[in-house]
C-alpha cells in the first residue's frame, strides 16, 4: 500500500442505500484532474475469482465524491498521484484498497464482505479482519477519527508473510482518536517499530493540505473537504 490517510467507518456488512449511476471503464482512470460524482464502479467477478479490480486510478489530482466502489479482492487500485475520496462507499474482501498513490479518504464507509473459502480478511464470528498489511516496504497508512466495528482484530494490522517480515520495521502505520469497539489501544495493537498510536502533532501531518496538497487543487472541483483532523 502507498500513502493513505483514512477517516471512515469500517463496518461489518454492506448496507448500501444510496443510488448511483453506473459507469463501465474498460481500462482505468488516467487523466489528471479526473472527477467522479454519484457513480458506481463495480466488478462482478465474485469472491472466487481472486484479483478483480473494480477501479484503477492512475491520475494525479483525482477526486471521487459520493461514489460506490464495489468488488471483492483488490477492489480499488489507487496506483499513483494525489487522490481524494469523499463520502464514498468502498467494499471488498482481501487487500481491497491498495496502491502507491498518496490518498485521503474522508467521511467514507468501508464495508468488509465475506470472501471465498480459505481467504483471509473475513468477517465471520471466528475470524476477524485487519486494517492493512504491508504490500511494499515503505507503506504509509493512518486512520484518523474513524469508527471501527468489532470485526477489527485487536492486533489491528497483519504481516504480509509469516516470520520476521522486514516491512514491519519500515512501514508507518498510525491511528489517532478512533472510536468504536474495534479501536486500538497500546495493550492490544501490534508491537512493531513502524506502528504509532499518534499524538495530535503527528496526526496533523496527514491533513488534506499537508498530505495531498488538497488546498491547492480541491477547491476547483467543488467537492467539499475538511482540512483539519
Residue 203 belongs to domain with CATH number: 2.160.20.10
Cα 220 to Cα 64: distance, rounded to the nearest angstrom? 13
Per-residue confidence (pLDDT) for residue 210, from 0 to 100: 97
Residue 225 inside a domain? The answer is: no
Q: Choosing from 95, 100, 215, 227, which is the catalytic residue?
A: 95
pLDDT at 48: 66
**Predicted structure pTM score:** 0.85
In a domain, 228, yes or no: no
95 annotated active-site: yes
Q: CA 56: distance to chain centroid?
A: 14
Give a yes or no: residue 226 inside a domain.
no
152 forms beta bridges with: 129
Q: What is the mean pLDDT of each run of 10 residues along the chain (229 residues)?
A: 60 53 64 95 79 92 97 91 97 89 96 67 54 84 94 89 77 95 91 94 97 98 95
Q: What is the pLDDT of residue 29?
A: 83
Q: Does 136 map to a domain? A: yes
Residue 229 domain-assigned (yes or no): no
Q: What pLDDT is attached to residue 126?
A: 44
Sign of the Cα pseudo-torsion (21, 24, 25, 31, in order):
negative
Asked whether residue 227 is domain-assigned, the answer is no
Nearest-angstrom CA–CA distance, 181 and 51: 30
Containing 99, the helix (H) or strand (E) segment is: none
- Total domains in the chain come to 1
pLDDT of residue 122: 36
Pick left, alpha or beta for residue 87 (phi over 0 → left; psi -120 to 50 → alpha; otherwise beta). left
Residue environment code for 169-199, b if the CB has 16+ CB neighbours within 10 A, otherwise e: eebbbbbbebeeebbbeeeebbebebbbebe
Determine, yes or no, domain membership for 143.
yes
Q: What range does the domain containing 27 cover?
A: 3-220
Amino acid at each position: 500500500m502507498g500513502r493513505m490517510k483514512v477517516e471512515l467507518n469500517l463496518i461489518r456488512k454492506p448496507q448500501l442505500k444510496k443510488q448511483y449511476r453506473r459507469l463501465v471503464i474498460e481500462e482505468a482512470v488516467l487523466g489528471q484532474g479526473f472527477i467522479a460524482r454519484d457513480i458506481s464502479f463495480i466488478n462482478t467477478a465474485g469472491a472466487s475469482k481472486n484479483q478483480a479490480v473494480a477501479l484503477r486510478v492512475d491520475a494525479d489530482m483525482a477526486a471521487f465524491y459520493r461514489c460506490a466502489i464495489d468488488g471483492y479482492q483488490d477492489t480499488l487500485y489507487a496506483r499513483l498521484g494525489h487522490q481524494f475520496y469523499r463520502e464514498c462507499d468502498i467494499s471488498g474482501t482481501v487487500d481491497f484498497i491498495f496502491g502507491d498513490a498518496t490518498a485521503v479518504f474522508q467521511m467514507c464507509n468501508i464495508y468488509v464482505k465475506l470472501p471465498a473459502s480459505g481467504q483471509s480478511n473475513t468477517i465471520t464470528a471466528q475470524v476477524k479482519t485487519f486494517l492493512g498489511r504491508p504490500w511494499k516496504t515503505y507503506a504509509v497508512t493512518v486512520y484518523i477519527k474513524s469508527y471501527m466495528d468489532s470485526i477489527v482484530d485487536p492486533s489491528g494490522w497483519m504481516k504480509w508473510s509469516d516470520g520476521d517480515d522486514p516491512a514491519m520495521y519500515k512501514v508507518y502505520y498510525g491511528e489517532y482518536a478512533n472510536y468504536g469497539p474495534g479501536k486500538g489501544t497500546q495493550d492490544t495493537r501490534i508491537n512493531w517499530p513502524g506502528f504509532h498510536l499518534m499524538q495530535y502533532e503527528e496526526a496533523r501531518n496527514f491533513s488534506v493540505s499537508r498530505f495531498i496538497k488538497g488546498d491547492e487543487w480541491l477547491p476547483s472541483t467543488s467537492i467539499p473537504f475538511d482540512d483539519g483532523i
